[in-house]
């Protein structure tokens, strides 16, 4: 993440939250912080006329769909089931993009979607004869500007051999009849400057292609709601670009919607010594916070300091503890932390900033229970558990 965040910004209202008010493990959403983020996004939209969509791939908590619908223009889906979720549980428009489309999904996706975005020109040409032209669904194409800004190759759609989007040079002198817009996405939780460079590169490379369309979806990855993000720069850039091109603009943030709006409540199950102090929690990196392993990164744990990799533990200091999950995966390690005092079995802690890319990615590997989901309003101190999972949820996905 290129936009730095102060520790108190990440913790927010959760410094005052009692983790024993919910089951453990449990994702808890601070709806006041969520609303703050949504107000920022709505303000950017109002000042630029760009429409902003929630990227369901990052945050799909439909328990707060009504709140989200009061600020944003709709949802961005990554396939049939997300499109169905966006249409049935959320409000506003549904824009759908998937690198791989199945022919037997096409009719329903078109019915559910206001924009259906194809990944390649070949995909568009293959499915074009089967598309209905009597509805309100507009068709677009994802383009690849081959301009990399993501720090991690795992999250770089413009890397070599990318599956994502049609390289712009391949579209020159091609028949784009029937396509009314383009989609680009090449950022990952970044500030304004990378967005500015990406848009500039797209303008240069796409050239006259932009004159053939009516709308442009600029994707997500802009960390608009973070402290330090240059929102003034973003507003000015979008205004200028929209004025010069006349294009209808869309943004589809995911992380920015739920940034710092959620925690994962966890309980200490065991502590012991093995070359250093170890704690086993009832929350798991691989099951409940997979980006900890995939990104990788170490999530902040309230009441602790993160100990950098390579630091040898002092056996006399029982406050320096390596924290991991309950699964059999040796690499199910969340991080190493210096606690305010040595953790004890039964104690509960809060992993911070765990609203996005957590609930949507959670698994039951090893039969590990899925965390409950709760909403908390710090203004009234009301807590409501909106979802709990049981054995049947584990068994139901198996055969």
Q: Quick one: pLDDT at residue 312?
A: 73
CB 220 within 8 A of CB 150: no
Please list, in sequence order, all residues whose beta carbon lies within 8 angstroms of the beta carbon of residue 308, skipping any fewer than 6 positions away.
none
Query: Would the CA dihedral through 364, 33, 334, 1 be positive or negative?
Result: positive
**CATH code assigned to 262-395:** 2.40.37.10
Question: Which residues, 6+ apart, have CB-to-CB distance to 364 below 8 Å?
Answer: 287, 370, 393, 394, 397
pLDDT attached to residue 271: 97
Please compute Rg for the chain using Cα positions: 22
Contacts of 172 (CB under 8 A, 6+ apart): 209
Residues 6+ apart with CB under 8 A from 30: 12, 13, 14, 261, 262, 263, 376, 377, 378
Note the pLDDT of residue 133: 83
pLDDT in tens, the chain (399 residues): 334 454 567 899 999 999 999 999 999 999 999 999 999 999 999 999 999 999 999 999 999 999 999 999 999 999 999 999 999 999 999 999 999 999 999 999 999 999 999 999 999 999 999 999 877 899 999 999 999 998 888 999 999 999 999 999 999 889 899 999 999 999 999 999 999 999 999 999 998 899 999 999 999 999 999 999 999 999 999 999 999 999 999 999 999 999 999 999 999 999 999 989 999 999 999 999 999 999 999 999 999 999 987 767 777 789 999 999 999 999 999 999 999 999 999 999 999 999 999 999 999 999 999 999 999 999 999 999 999 999 999 999 999
- Whole-number pLDDT of residue 309: 77
Domain with CATH 3.20.20.10 in the chain: 49-258
Residues 125-148 as b/e (b if ≥16 CB within 10 A, e otherwise) read eebeeeeeeeeebbbbbbbbbbbb
| pTM, to two decimals | 0.95
Q: What is the pLDDT of residue 7?
A: 58
CATH class of 49-258: alpha beta
The pLDDT score that the predictor gives to residue 3 is 44
pLDDT at position 151, please? 84
Contacts of residue 375, defined as CB under 8 A and 6 or more positions apart, other chains included, come to 28, 29, 31, 63, 64, 383, 384, 386
Where along the chain do the CATH 2.40.37.10 domains lie? 262-395
Q: What is the 3-state secondary structure (H, E, C) of the chain?
A: CCCCCCHHHHHHHHHHCCHHHCCCCEEEEEHHHHHHHHHHHHHHHHHHCCEEEEECCCCCCHHHHHHHHCCCCEEEECCHHHHHHHHHHCCCEEEEECCCCCHHHHHHHHHHCCEEEECCHHHHHHHHHHCCCCCCCEEEEEEECCCCCCCCHHHCCCCCCCCCCEEHHHHCCCCCCCCCEEECCCCCCECHHHHHHHHHHHHHHHHHHHHHCCEEECCCCECCCCCCCCHHHHHHHHHHHHHHHCCEEEECCCHHHHCCCEEEEEEEEEEEECCCEEEEECCCHHHHCCHHHHCCCCCCECCEEECCCCCCCCCCCCCEEEEECCCCCCCCEEEEEEECCCCCCCCEEEEECCCCCCCCCCCCHHHCCCCEEEEEECCCCEEEEEECCCHHHHHCCCC
CA distance 196 to 74: 24
């Amino acid at each position: 993440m290129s936009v730095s965040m102060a520790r108190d910004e990440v913790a927010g209202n959760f410094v005052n939250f009692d983790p024993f008010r919910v089951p453990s493990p449990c994702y808890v959403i601070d709806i006041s912080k969520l609303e703050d983020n949504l107000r920022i996004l709505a303000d950017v939209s109002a000042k630029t006329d760009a429409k902003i969509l929630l990227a369901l791939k990052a945050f799909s908590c439909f328990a707060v769909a009504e709140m989200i619908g009061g600020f944003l223009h709709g949802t961005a889906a990554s396939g049939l089931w997300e499109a169905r979720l966006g249409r049935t549980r959320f409000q506003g428009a549904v824009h759908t993009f998937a690198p791989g489309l199945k022919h037997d999904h096409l009719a329903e996706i078109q019915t559910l979607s206001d924009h259906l975005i194809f990944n390649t020109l070949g995909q568009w040409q293959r499915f074009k004869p089967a598309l209905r032209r009597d509805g309100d669904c507009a068709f677009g194409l994802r383009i690849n500007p081959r301009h990399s800004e993501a720090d991690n190759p795992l999250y770089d759609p413009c890397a070599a051999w990318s599956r994502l989007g049609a390289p712009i040079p391949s579209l020159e002198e091609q028949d784009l009849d029937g396509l009314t817009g383009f989609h680009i996405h090449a950022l990952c939780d970044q500030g304004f400057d990378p967005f500015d460079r990406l848009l500039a590169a797209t303008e240069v490379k796409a050239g006259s292609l932009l004159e053939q369309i009516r709308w442009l979806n600029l994707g997500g990855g802009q960390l608009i709601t973070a402290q330090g993000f240059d929102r003034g720069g973003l507003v000015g850039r979008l205004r200028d670009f929209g004025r010069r091109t006349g294009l209808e603009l869309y943004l589809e943030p995911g992380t920015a919607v739920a940034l710092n709006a959620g925690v994962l409540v966890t309980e200490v199950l065991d502590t012991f010594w093995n070359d250093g102090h170890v704690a086993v929690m009832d929350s798991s990196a691989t099951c409940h916070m997979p980006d900890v392993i995939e990104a990788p990164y170490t999530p902040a744990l309230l009441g602790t300091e993160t100990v950098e990799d390579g630091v040898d533990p002092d056996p006399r200091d029982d406050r320096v503890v390596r924290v991991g999950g309950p699964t059999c995966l040796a690499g199910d390690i969340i991080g190493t932390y210096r606690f305010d005092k040595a953790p004890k079995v039964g104690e509960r802690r809060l992993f911070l900033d765990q609203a996005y890319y957590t609930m949507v990615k959670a698994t039951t590997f090893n039969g590990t229970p899925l965390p409950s989901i709760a909403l908390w309003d710090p203004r009234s101190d009301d807590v409501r558990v909106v979802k709990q999972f049981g054995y049947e949820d584990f068994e139901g996905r198996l055969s």
